């Protein structure tokens, strides 16, 4: 059992390179002695050491890099923030802005292309089939995002106004989803 423990300790992150180099050197020496069966064992050992070095060493670096980053962050190092989360941190978005942002994205990114697709749709065109699926997915994401606007805690006129606005935007998007569904029926 002591030998296993010593071997396990020698395989730790600090000794991986040394361990693999030692295995390769001993395999090379044995291979040079020209004993046929021993040569096979030596080649297998060398191959195992090479795999060990190539596979486990990069994995070890990933783990040690993560540990070092955590240590830096604990010491006061700042994490890089993505643009989206940085914007949220700067200014909280109101419920009205959330609904309007979705509607603006719908108009700016999808409405015009969707109308063009519907106007000259060819069910045999693979590119247009792809576009049809793309617009369908993107519009569904917008509807899901609108469903995520939480109006439960609101009361009174503001809640009614926001519900009506959200409902109006969802209905407009659903109208285009129905148009896309009718195109899908043509292609089948």
The CATH number given to whatever domain includes residue 100 is 1.20.58
Angle at 153 between CA 152 and CA 159, to 5 degrees: 70
pLDDT at 144: 96
Q: Are residues 110 and 159 in the same domain?
A: yes
When comparing pLDDT for 139 and 43, which is higher? 139
pLDDT tens-digit series, residues 42-91: 666 666 665 665 665 555 555 555 555 555 555 555 555 555 555 545 66
Q: How many domains does the chain divide into? A: 2
Q: Note whether 84 and 78 are within 8 A (CB).
A: no
Of 74, 102, 127, the residue that ends a domain is 74
pLDDT at 173: 97
Q: Are residues 127 and 173 in the same domain?
A: yes
Residue range 154-177: mean pLDDT, rounded: 94
pLDDT at 59: 56
Q: Are residues 135 and 181 in the same domain?
A: yes
Confidence of residue 187 (pLDDT cuts 50, 70, 90): confident
Residue range(s) defining the domain that contains residue 93: 83-187
Q: Are residues 98 and 180 in the same domain?
A: yes
Of 74, 106, 122, the residue that ends a domain is 74
pLDDT at 150: 87
Q: Are residues 154 and 89 in the same domain?
A: yes
Other beta carbons within 10 Å of 82 = 9
For the chain, what is the mean pLDDT?
Answer: 76
Q: Are residues 65 and 92 in the same domain?
A: no
Q: Are residues 138 and 57 in the same domain?
A: no
Q: Are residues 109 and 55 in the same domain?
A: no
Q: Are residues 69 and 93 in the same domain?
A: no
Question: Is residue 120 helix, strand or coil?
Answer: coil
Q: Are residues 49 and 124 in the same domain?
A: no
pLDDT at 71: 55
Q: Are residues 38 and 88 in the same domain?
A: no
**pTM of the predicted structure, to 2 decimals:** 0.52
Rounded percentage of the chain residues whose pLDDT exceeds 70: 51
In angstroms, rounded to a whole number, what is the distance separating the alpha carbons of residues 111 and 125? 20
pLDDT at 126: 92
Of 74, 105, 134, the residue that ends a domain is 74
Q: Are residues 46 and 87 in the same domain?
A: no
Question: Is residue 124 helix, strand or coil?
Answer: coil
In angstroms, rounded to a whole number, what is the distance separating the alpha carbons of residues 165 and 159? 10
Residue 39 reports pLDDT greater than 90: no
Question: b/e per residue, 129-164, with b = 16+ CB within 10 A?
Answer: bebbeebbebbeebbeebeebeeeeeeeeeeeebee
Cα separations in angstroms, 137 against 18, 77, 100, 116, 142: 52, 39, 20, 17, 9
In angstroms, rounded to a whole number, what is the distance separating the alpha carbons of residues 67 and 76? 15
pLDDT at 107: 95
CB neighbour class for 20 (10 Å; exposed up to 12, middle 13-18, buried from 19): buried
């Amino acid at each position: 059992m002591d030998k296993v423990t010593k071997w396990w300790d020698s395989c730790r992150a600090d000794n991986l390179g040394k361990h693999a180099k030692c295995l390769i050197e001993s395999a090379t020496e044995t291979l040079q002695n020209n004993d046929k069966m021993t040569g096979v064992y030596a080649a297998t050992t060398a191959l195992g050491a090479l795999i060990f070095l190539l596979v486990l060493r990069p994995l070890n670096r990933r783990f040690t890099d993560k540990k070092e980053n955590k240590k830096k962050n604990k010491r006061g190092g700042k994490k890089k923030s993505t643009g989206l989360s940085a914007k949220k941190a700067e200014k909280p978005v109101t419920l009205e802005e959330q609904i309007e942002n979705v509607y603006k994205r719908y108009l700016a990114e999808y409405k015009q292309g969707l109308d063009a697709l519907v106007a000259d749709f060819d069910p045999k065109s693979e590119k247009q089939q792809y576009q049809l699926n793309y617009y369908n997915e993107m519009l569904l994401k917008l509807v899901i995002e609108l469903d995520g606007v939480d109006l439960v805690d609101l009361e009174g006129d503001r809640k009614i106004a926001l519900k009506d606005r959200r409902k109006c935007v969802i209905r407009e998007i659903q109208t285009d989803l129905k148009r896309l569904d009718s195109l899908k029926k043509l292609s089948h």
